[in-house]
Each structure stands twice: as structure tokens, then as C-alpha cells.
């Protein structure tokens, strides 16, 4: 037999940027590995420099980076890290982006608009990524934008476990805050075995040039209503939905969302809202300046660590969930 055969000595290496190192450290602790020592700098003109301070040759490298504001800076840092790994002869590079940047720009709504979510996938691939891992993509079709394997992780099991532990689901109704989130709400309803309601935005015919009001489709009177979404950005939609549910006789209103973007007026809106609890995950860091007493943050590190372990060992990522996705 010609050629040389050597034993499989795969080597997992975990790298992280500066956006949210605490999440990467938690994942590394669960995997029992250290983070690759990295020198990262931002020069005076805002250019970014990255150098890994130990060899990554032949490694199965995972690059974890969250994308809070400023999104473009952390995205560029991640792309530079991928390029550095490729040029240092890493065997395989997996991008781990818990919150996929530009995920809301997944299709054209009008002429002359970009599909930025596709552009991000192309940038990852061009930089040298072989595989992509993300949590609760804004649209499932983004999986098809990347030319390679995509692991689409779900926060649903983590959030559902918290709900079942702290609430009586027999008196709960899952509510979609708008028509676009009905499929997500339907998944929640199936998982919890609860009724489903929808808030339909429409203009009040009796008031000209007025903003939309929420029309509740479904029975919510006397029920504990669980509003579900994939993200909370400025919190305008979800807080209006909570007010509409309360006005229709809801006993209590709680919210569950994966990505806590929490831009601009979000903290004030949530603090002044009708919510009893707002449940999110740590796919994005939450600034210490943001004070929301009713906010509960659940860790996604165990799920990310389990998915990385499965990919590294050529195991099944789909088996981590109640349903294949």
C-alpha cells in the first residue's frame, strides 16, 4: 500500500474575539479546554489586528464571536480571525455566531435593496470558514446562504424548561406578537401543549393617520399569556403586544426571546411594560448599564459546548433537540 497512514489525532481549539469573552470562557470550561491565547488590537484609525500566540496547524478550530453593537467591528474581527486561522493551516474552521449578524435582511422587500444575510455568509466562506453554527436564525432560509454545513441550534428546549419549571402551563396561552412569528409560536404551542393566539396589527378605521392597534385573535381572557419572539431589539412591538393582551383580560403576561439586543429605549419600555417576567438567553452580552429587574437570562453555553463536541467527534447535532431542524 502506497502512502503514509497515521493515527487520527484531531485537535480541538477554541478561539474567541473581544465582543463577549465571558460566553466563550463558559463554553471552554464545559469542554475542558483553554481558549487559544490571542493578541487583538484596534489601531487608532479603527483597523483591527489579530494574532494567535500558539500553533493552530492541523487543528479543528471553532471561532466564537457574539455580535452586539458595534456589529460591524465585531464581525470584521471575526473575519480577520478566520483568515488568520486559514493562513496558519488550521484543518477545519467552524464559525460559531450565536446571534447571526444582519439576519433580518434575509430577502428583498423592495427594489434596489441588499440581501445582507447572504453577503455575511459569503464573507464567512471567503475568509476561510468551512462550517457555520448559529442559534435561532431570524429566517431558516439563511441556512441555504452558506456554502457548507450549517448547524442551526435551537434555544427552545432551554427556554421551555424554564417555563415548565416556574409556571403552570395548563393556564397558559402562547401568543405571537405579529403575523411573522406565527410559525415560531406554533412550535412553542406544540412543545408546551397550550392554545395559540395571534396579535394582528391593523389600523383603526375610525381614526385617520393613526398607528396600528393590536387585534387579538384567540382567547386570552383569564390566561397567562406567553409572548414569544426570536429577538428583542427596541422592544416596541412586544411591549405593545403585552398592553393589548392586558386590555383583553389576560391574567398575566410574560415574554420569551432568544436574542437580547435591547437597543435604545428597550430597557425603559420593558421596565414600564405589563410583563411580569422577560426571559432571554446570553447569545448577546447585556451591558451593566442596563437595569431590568424583570429580566431573566438563561445560559446557552451548555448547548453550544454540546454542539461543538458533537461536531468535533463527527456526532449528531440534531439529536441534541426534541425535533430535527
Give the residue from 82, 116, 80 showing the smallest Cα distance to 96: 82
Number of domains in the chain: 2
Helix axes 21-31, 301-312, angle to 10 degrees: 60
Predicted local confidence at residue 211, as pLDDT: 46
Asked if residue 7 is part of any domain, the answer here is no
- Gyration radius of the chain's alpha carbons: 22
- How much is the pTM? 0.93
Catalytic residue among 86, 91, 125, 201: 201
Residues of the domain holding 226? 156-298
pLDDT tens digits along 79-120 = 999 999 999 999 999 999 999 999 999 999 899 999 999 999
CB 167 within 8 A of CB 254: yes
CB 29 within 8 A of CB 45: no
Asked if residue 187 is part of any domain, the answer here is yes
Residues 218 and 243 occupy one common structural domain: yes
pLDDT tens digits along 130-172 = 999 999 999 999 999 999 999 999 999 999 999 999 999 999 9
Asked if residue 310 is part of any domain, the answer here is yes
Reported residue count of the chain is: 325
Predicted local confidence at residue 1, as pLDDT: 46
pLDDT lower than 70: segments of the chain: 1-8, 202-213, 322-325
Predicted local confidence at residue 2, as pLDDT: 56
Predicted local confidence at residue 5, as pLDDT: 53
Predicted local confidence at residue 203, as pLDDT: 58
Predicted local confidence at residue 214, as pLDDT: 74
3-state secondary structure 135-200: ECCCCHHHHHCCCCCEEEECCHHHHHHHHHHHCCHHHEEEEECCHHHHHHHHHHHHHHCCCEEEEE
Residues 59 and 122 occupy one common structural domain: yes
Based on the residue annotation, tell me whether 10 is a catalytic residue of this protein.
Answer: no
Q: Could you count the other beta carbons within 10 Å of the beta carbon of residue 61?
A: 28
Residues 150 and 19 occupy one common structural domain: yes
Predicted local confidence at residue 325, as pLDDT: 40
Domain of 35, CATH number, reads 3.40.50.2020
CB 224 within 8 A of CB 251: yes
Residues 147 and 180 occupy one common structural domain: no
Amino acid at each position: 500500500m502506497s502512502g503514509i497512514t497515521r493515527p487520527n489525532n484531531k485537535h480541538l481549539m477554541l478561539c474567541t474575539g473581544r465582543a463577549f469573552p465571558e460566553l466563550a470562557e463558559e463554553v471552554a470550561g464545559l469542554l475542558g479546554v483553554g481558549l487559544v491565547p490571542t493578541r487583538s488590537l484596534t489601531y487608532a484609525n479603527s483597523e483591527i489586528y489579530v494574532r494567535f500566540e500558539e500553533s493552530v496547524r492541523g487543528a479543528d478550530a471553532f471561532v466564537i464571536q457574539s455580535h452586539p453593537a458595534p456589529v460591524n467591528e465585531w464581525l470584521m474581527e471575526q473575519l480577520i480571525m478566520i483568515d488568520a486561522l486559514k493562513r496558519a493551516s488550521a484543518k477545519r474552521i467552524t464559525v460559531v455566531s450565536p446571534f447571526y449578524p444582519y439576519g433580518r435582511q434575509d430577502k428583498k422587500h423592495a427594489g434596489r435593496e441588499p440581501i445582507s444575510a447572504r453577503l455575511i455568509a459569503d464573507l464567512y466562506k471567503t475568509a476561510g470558514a468551512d462550517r457555520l453554527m448559529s442559534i435561532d436564525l431570524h429566517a431558516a432560509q439563511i441556512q441555504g446562504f452558506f456554502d457548507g454545513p450549517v448547524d442551526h441550534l435551537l434555544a427552545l428546549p432551554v427556554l421551555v424548561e424554564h417555563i415548565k419549571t416556574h409556571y403552570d402551563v395548563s393556564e397558559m396561552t402562547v401568543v405571537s406578537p405579529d403575523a411573522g412569528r406565527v410559525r415560531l409560536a406554533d412550535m412553542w404551542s406544540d412543545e408546551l401543549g397550550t392554545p395559540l393566539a395571534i396579535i394582528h396589527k391593523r389600523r383603526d378605521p375610525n381614526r385617520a393617520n393613526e398607528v396600528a392597534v393590536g387585534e387579538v385573535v384567540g382567547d386570552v381572557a383569564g390566561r397567562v399569556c406567553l409572548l414569544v419572539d426570536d429577538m428583542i431589539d427596541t422592544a416596541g412591538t412586544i411591549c405593545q403586544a403585552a398592553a393589548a393582551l392586558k386590555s383583553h383580560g389576560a391574567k398575566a403576561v410574560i415574554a420569551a426571546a432568544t436574542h437580547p439586543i435591547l437597543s435604545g429605549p428597550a430597557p425603559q419600555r420593558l421596565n414600564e411594560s405589563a410583563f411580569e417576567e422577560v426571559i432571554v438567553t446570553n447569545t448577546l452580552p447585556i451591558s451593566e448599564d442596563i437595569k431590568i429587574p424583570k429580566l431573566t437570562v438563561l445560559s446557552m453555553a451548555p448547548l453550544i459546548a454540546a454542539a461543538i463536541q458533537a461536531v468535533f467527534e463527527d456526532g449528531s447535532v440534531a439529536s441534541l433537540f426534541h425535533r430535527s431542524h
